[in-house]
Structure 1
């Protein structure tokens, strides 16, 4: 499935999925997923729970996550409770978010290389923002 015109899929609060999810479109999760998720963009609702690995281009997390996260552009909202390691290119964390794991830049991973805007590619630091 291609992503024509901003298509997205929703997993409602009354849905539990046991198994991996692969989506070429954006995904909004309000339910419970026990399995790995790979998608273009992930938006997680406050009452949702994900148990598994998350891989996405961008993600906005606000529920419970138990597993590793590998996302280029990551926003962790204050209601998020993450248990697992986090890899990112850019990271924004709201005050009050709970993370039990390690943070590491995606450098060296098989993701897209950072753009070189006059700076040396290898010396470029990942972005980190703390939101109030």
Structure 2
């Protein structure tokens, strides 16, 4: 069962802390293919393929199509993908289509989610190999 957020969280609250393991993929980035980053990712651009990372933040302008495998995800933009992430947060204004395999699924009342949600222990282990 999805949790409904009652407090307002801003995009800035979700941003990864700057550091050597944070990768920002800006608005000029358009990737077709599979991406593996051993660290946190903030996506403002577009990825069509699979993304594997630690903490994932999708900006309002960002787009992800394909598959996401991460430790946590805060979604503000557009997703058309299957997500294998223990903690998924869908925030106001986002649009998500696909399957969400998770331990915890947090849905803002102004977020759009069209798909299926399934709770699993260790959902990342269910992700297909790329």
TM range (shorter): 0.7 to 0.9
Change (3 A) 1:102 1:27: same
Q: CA, structure 1 residues 47+39, in 2 after alignment: closer, same or farther (shift >3 Å)?
A: same
Greater fraction helix = 2
Q: How does 1:38-53 map to 2 (within 5 A)?
A: 38-53=52-67
Alpha-carbon separation, structure 2, partners of 1:68 and 1:56: 12
State how many pairs are aligned. Answer: 107
Question: Are 1:54 and 2:64 an aligned pair?
Answer: no
The change in CA–CA distance for 1:92 and 1:23 in structure 2 (over 3 A counts) is: same
The aligned runs of 1:42-121 (5 Å cut-off) are 42-107=56-121, 109=123, 111=125
Distance 1:7 1:108, change over 3 A: closer
Structure 2: gaps spanning 5 or more residues: 1-18, 126-130
Structure 1 segments of 4+ aligned residues over 6 angstroms from their partners: none
d(CA) in 2 for partners of 1:89, 1:65: 19
Q: Which structure exhibits the higher relative contact order, with contacts defined as CA atoms closer than 8 Å and separated by 6 or more residues?
A: 2
Using the alignment, how far apart are the partners of 1:94 and 1:6 within structure 2? 31
Secondary structure, counterpart of 1:52 in structure 2: strand
The 1:96–1:58 alpha-carbon spacing in structure 2 relative to 1, beyond 3 Å, is same
Q: TM-score, normalised by structure 2?
A: 0.77
Task: Indicate the structure (1 or 2) with the bigger Cα radius of gyration.
Answer: 1
TM-score by length of 1: 0.76
